[in-house]
Amino acid sequence: MALDLSLHLPTLLAILGMAAAVYLIRAGGLFLARQVTPTPWVEAFLAHLPGAMFVALIVPTVIGGGTLYIGAAIATLASARTRAPLVVSMAVGIGTLLVLRTVTLR
């Protein structure tokens, strides 16, 4: 059975329309960022946003993974608390998870 990879006009228009919308949203945000001076509260909020987004992505996975993931997360946090480089903290977390998985399989 041959796979039909032809592009239909409505599909092409939808893709181009979505691309234009994404570009306008991003360009508009950059334009507004240059025109508006944020208040100190907004600057503080934006400074903490990447950390909050990271936690929002990680916590459900850790909790859903059970005790092994929680143990690896604790080891990662302990490593990060000692001011270890990010790569080292990640390696500690991954290594801890691998060791815990290996130990629990026996």
Give the list of residues 6+ apart from residue 70 with CB closer than 8 angstroms, or none: 62, 63
61-71 pLDDT, tens digit per residue, is 999 999 999 99
Which residue type, as a one-letter code, is found at position 50? Answer: P
Is pLDDT above 70 for 37? yes
Chain Cα centroid distance, residue 78: 21
DSSP 36: -
Min mean pLDDT across 14-18, 33-37, 79-83 is at 33-37
For residues 72 and 104, the answer to whether their CB atoms sit within 8 Å is no
Report yes or no: 71 and 96 within 8 Å, Cβ to Cβ: yes
pTM of structure: 0.56
**Rounded to an integer, what distance in angstroms lies between the CA atom of residue 106 and that of residue 90?**
25
